Amino acid sequence: MHREVSQEQKHKRKSKTAVLHQKFYFLRDFVERRKLQINRLQQEIDKAFILFEQSAKNVPLLFEYTESVIMENRAEQTYTHRFKVWDAMLLRQAHEPVAAKKTYSWRDIDPSHTIHNKDAKFVTFEGSYDKHHQPVEGLWFIELITLAALSGSPSSEITSRYGVSKRSFQGPITTPYGPTTSRWQYLLSKDLGLIFIPIEILMTDALLAHSAVQIMSKTGARAHEFLQIRLVPEHLYRLNLTENKECILFNAVPKGRTKEEPFLY
């Protein structure tokens, strides 16, 4: 009797997980496409930075690229994404005429501020367009940026949509140059309507999200075991192997233990 009950419970568990396994393929494909989209943007930005350094730097560098986007109905659309590369001097020149008084007075006396960094470069989003040159929502993360979802102070719209409080919502500073530059970028966005692309943050988030989905959907870890995996950059590595394969190195606390241990997936 006990064996029959055990077998019945086993079959029930398999039938429930079978439904999830069918969806795992689509989830992995979805996350993979988003990661590749950010990878492509990173490559285009790197090329644009080289061109900007070779220019006179008297105006922002406009660059664009075209990519094929898979829609929810699996149809394929071709979109063109446009961006601009700025340095700190160009941003200041554009902002100073409309900025509040004394916006730059105290920044001028701080030699460590980014406005004095001649090597600092910034990327702004200038829009996505279809083949008929009509504006479209071509990049999924633009809305997250405009709603401050990648910052430590998200908008009320994003917190109410996903049912989280501002206190519990924690995000990274969206610039590699520190909080003072983040504040400056906020003023630039507010006064000039600029949308800055925090490519470093996007690359990190894409790596973490893609790794999390891969680990969860392929290792068979239960949900409560999966939550013990601390997916942070200093404990997460992706290694590219031969024959187009890869592996993930991460730290996790095994069930019943108290200390992290390294795992290879």
pLDDT of residue 48: 98
pLDDT of residue 221: 58
Element housing 15 (H / E): helix 2-54
Distance CA 84, CA 95 (A): 15
The 10s digit of each residue's pLDDT in 146-155 is: 887 776 677 7
**pLDDT band per the 50, 70, 90 thresholds, residue 19:** very low
237-241 average pLDDT score: 72
179, 173 contact by CB (below 8 A)? yes
87, 121 contact by CB (below 8 A)? yes
pLDDT of residue 255: 65
Listed by start position, the domains of the chain span: 2-198, 219-265
What's the mean pLDDT when you consider all of the chain? Answer: 80
pLDDT of residue 16: 52
User: In this structure, which amino acid lies at residue 22?
Assistant: Q
Question: How far is residue 9 CA from its own chain's centroid?
Answer: 41
pLDDT of residue 152: 64
Q: Cite the DSSP H helix spans in 74-178.
A: 88-95, 105-108, 142-146, 156-162
pLDDT of residue 66: 96
The answer on pLDDT for 162 being more than 60 is yes
The 10s digit of each residue's pLDDT in 165-224 is: 776 655 555 566 777 888 899 899 999 999 999 998 888 778 777 877 777 776 665 545
The 10s digit of each residue's pLDDT in 97-148 is: 999 988 998 888 888 899 999 999 999 999 999 999 999 988 989 988 888 7
pLDDT of residue 144: 84
The 10s digit of each residue's pLDDT in 224-238 is: 555 556 655 566 676
**Considering the entire predicted model, what is its pTM?**
0.76
Distance CA 17, CA 187 (A): 49
Cα–Cα nearest to 95, from 70, 114, 76: 114
Distance CA 161, CA 163 (A): 6
DSSP 239: E
pLDDT of residue 124: 98
